[in-house]
Structures are given as C-alpha cells and as structure tokens.
C-alpha cells in the first residue's frame, strides 16, 4: 500500500513542521516539545536554505492538526500491520520532505519494532545530493534501535520546482548536477540496501526504477527484496 502524507496532513502544516525541524538541526538548543522519537532527517549536506530565520512555534491549533495527522498515519499503519501489508510512504519536494521523513520514521519506530520484517517503508530520492548520507544515517539509527526498516528507492520527480526555488533564494539546487551523478547515487544506495537485506538484518527494499542498468541483478549479492520496475 502507498500513502502520500500530503493527503492526511495539510501542506501548510508540513511546511511549518519542516521549517521547525530544520531550525532544530541548525540550533541544537532549540527544542520541539511536540516531537516524537524519530531517526535523523538531515545530514551535513542537506539543504537548509528554506529556513533562514527562527520560525514561530506551532500554534495550539497546529499542534492539534499535527496530532490528528499522526493519528491518521498510525491508523493506516495499524491496519497494514494487522493485514501484514507493507506501507510505502511517498516522497515530496524538499520544502516538505523533512516533515514527511519525520512522520515516516516515527511511525516505523512504533510499528516496525519487534517484527521480523518492516511494515513501514520510507522513500529515498537519489537525485538529491544528500540522499546517500541521509540513508546511511537512518539505517545506522534503525540498527542501533533494533528497528527493522524498509526503503523505497527512486530517482525523483521535482527537478523543476527544486531548481526554481533554490534559484529564487540564490542557492544551489539540491539535485545532482548530472543524470549520471543521480544514476551513481541510485546504484550506490541500491547496493547498500540490497547488502543489508541479503544479510537478514530485517531490512526491506523496493527498487522503483525505469533504468535497465539499475534493474540488473548484482551477481555478488544474494538478494531478498521486492523489486518494482
């Protein structure tokens, strides 16, 4: 099953939450009282230009809306868990993605723990420069917390909007400069995830690709993955 967080949480709130998460990353002493346990959603190379000044805290109404959104995704996760159906959480552009990653990972901690295989899968967009770093950080933390984790690996779909926003703010696009850089990032992430899955470490992988080379089996890895072409 696939879900878009933008369907269960207002986009304006996802932007606000993403801004606050970015500011928390910039300012370690800045604390978010409403934040649930999650995995890292930023790396050293993550774009932070969306948030140039300290955001206003969530209002009481926004906190209620966020709690309601958490309730919706948790109910979907619960139904998937009961039916033993994997849940793939879709990705969006970087202005929203921190909040989506946060909700995906907090849900994974709740519903993947103590399971042989993950229910909740987050999406990694390989056309982003920080994709590999963020993936490794999430995996490191999942292993540390003993939480099986699933990932869907895609290239990405928001090249124009990412470039336009970054340019309007006088910043470099968060997307790789060349298609080959994206292919290399995708293949590196794919190899890393397939090795994790083949080691029986509780990782699930979905490879979403139209690229023939990325769809070829890796001879040196015994894979235990879902392959979506």
pLDDT for res 228: 37
pLDDT for res 93: 96
pLDDT for res 116: 78
In tens digits, the chain (229 residues) has pLDDT values of: 999 999 999 999 999 999 999 999 999 899 999 999 999 999 999 999 999 999 999 999 999 999 999 999 999 999 999 999 999 999 999 999 999 999 999 999 999 986 778 999 999 999 999 999 999 999 999 999 999 999 999 999 999 999 999 999 999 999 999 999 999 999 999 999 999 888 876 889 999 987 777 766 554 444 444 443 3
The Cα–Cα gap between 97 and 78 comes to 23
pTM: 0.92
- Please name every residue paired with 73 in a beta bridge, in sequence order, or none if there are none: none
The Cα–Cα gap between 171 and 32 comes to 27
Backbone angles phi, psi at 217, to 5 degrees: -65, 145
The structure tokens listed for 39 are 């995995």
- CATH code of the domain containing 164: 3.20.20.220
Residues 6 or more apart whose Cβ sits within 8 Å of residue 218: 191, 194
The structure tokens listed for 178 are 């060349």
Structural domain containing residue 11 = 2-228
pLDDT for res 46: 97
The count of structural domains within the chain is 1
The Cα–Cα gap between 68 and 74 comes to 10
pLDDT for res 209: 83
């Amino acid at each position: 099953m696939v879900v878009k967080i933008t369907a269960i949480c207002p986009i304006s709130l996802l932007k606000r939450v993403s801004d606050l998460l970015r500011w928390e990353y910039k300012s370690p002493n800045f604390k978010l009282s409403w934040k649930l346990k999650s995995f890292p959603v930023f790396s050293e190379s993550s774009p932070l230009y969306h948030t140039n000044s300290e955001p206003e805290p969530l209002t009481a109404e926004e906190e209620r809306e966020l709690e309601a959104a958490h309730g919706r995704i948790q109910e979907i996760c619960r139904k998937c868990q009961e039916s033993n159906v994997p849940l793939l959480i879709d990705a969006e552009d970087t202005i929203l993605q921190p909040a989506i990653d946060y909700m995906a990972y907090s849900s994974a901690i709740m519903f993947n723990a103590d399971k042989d295989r993950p229910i909740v899968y987050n999406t990694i967009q390989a056309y982003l420069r920080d994709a590999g770093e963020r993936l490794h950080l999430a995996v490191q933390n999942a292993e540390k917390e003993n939480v099986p984790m699933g990932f869907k690996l895609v290239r990405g779909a928001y090249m124009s909007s990412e470039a336009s926003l970054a340019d309007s703010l006088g910043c470099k696009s968060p997307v790789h400069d060349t298609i080959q850089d994206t292919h290399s990032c995708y293949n590196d992430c794919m190899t890393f995830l397939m090795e994790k899955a083949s080691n029986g470490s509780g990782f699930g992988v979905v490879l979403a690709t139209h690229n023939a080379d990325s769809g070829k089996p890796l001879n040196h890895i015994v894979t235990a993955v879902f392959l979506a072409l």
